[in-house]
Structure 1
């Protein structure tokens, strides 16, 4: 078997990388929230009961408690984790087309975390008995107001989203078929990783540990499961050969996705923005198209039977497209596809 390693002209250069100041803007509210909670804790620590009331029922009465150390681990650790995840996504420019909304969401979350942490400390400081601490639902209104105001500030500070001039809405033009001999067999394979899932997996795991230590391990189980899913699918291997296209996790044998050569009408290359084009990362479904989207940038785009489009983000997509088109032509004849065939 001959491995395909054909040089090709890459896609047009995209926009410059996100400037570091935008990542700093994205993490700033989380740092402010951490500083606010730490400052209030330092000011009232001598008046705090042990343990503290940390959870409240709908009528405002306390129904769960934690030590001061556990409360700080949760109240300071969770904003740090979410701030780090959002900062990495912005720094890597993995949220093209939705940068303002991602930063605004971060500001809102940071404002809410900070307010609830400060309110919890102040209410605990007013009494020497955690069982008598109350946090009425009316206190949630000001906290949500601060969160909304913070989100507006974040959206204004984020600046404009940059949209690529070459953003493609439909199927990519078919790549020229690779020149294969009549008896030549070829295959192509690449591994691609997702910066978003690589960052999110450890982030969810850290959040799960914080929730487990500060609240309970039942709530942490869901975060841990999400972390395992992210880590398992943070990288996939994409293979193109005479059988068609196969996409499988780099770490686990199942699930895997296979598109037979007979279903491929033509293959090309697209530039993909995960949030802008598909609303997120992972296996995505949109009207008329679907795909495995792990990062921003170059993607192999297949036009399938009945006109649907499937994409998978991967480097050297032009070589894979050229190979699949050559194998399709050899199997069905030039220009033929499933919708033209019998």
Structure 2
């Protein structure tokens, strides 16, 4: 369970959860039996164990040290069975340079099975794991020679990634990888076409598209001017309410209540020509830009983290323009783990001067 969080309200930055920590009983194999050793402390990632707290299947799963660098999750019964007859399978990885490397994985390794998106135990036919250049795995009965034929060197491509900011400017950065890696990493719907040199991220639909446009050509598309639905001037930010789900510890609710109570902030705002609500939270480091959902409703995805198709954290701002001088907003924060701790903070932004 989440032990604590730090809610950094809009007055000082974006709302974020502090990394949770859990202490887990840890064992190793000794003479065919399990032997308890010092407990392990895990948070978002423990590089010594190659595990993280979010991957723990249940409270009954312990950490089992094996002969490999990476530890595994196991119940006591599973740990006893493994230590009685430690069993490993070969893992064959295909590198970008076309070379294959062979390592080992403990039989039943939950974390590695999720990482490679394969069944935890080998099927009847296929007793080895093949991992391609996108880190996707499959069980196989193919020999090293057969795998070597399909593991060929592929060119590393550098593409330009860009998106339009709310102010109408162009944000540009680059990314390198094979065509297959770039397709998987960016959740593209279509394979990378020949001759493509760029990728455009649409902050409205939150989708990426292959592009042949140059940054200069894209910059023209980003330009524009809108009529502002709210007035420039002096605005006051206030916090009005909060709620916390049953999975949030009482200490969390108390900490939020202390931070919310009576806080206000005054800002001089000139809304951008290509209108957005960015001036509301100018210091926020978000994954995208404010999205216009119509009828005066806006949304900002600040952060979303998934691990093995499970939502680990989510931070979203929602806002509604009630009038040219009043905006209401909501900050929705979720943290995964053993349960989902959800915190909702609401407030208003009102014009108080010219």
**Structure number having the greater helix percentage:** 1
TM-score, with structure 2 as normaliser: 0.25
**Structure number having the greater strand percentage:** 2
TM-score, with structure 1 as normaliser: 0.26
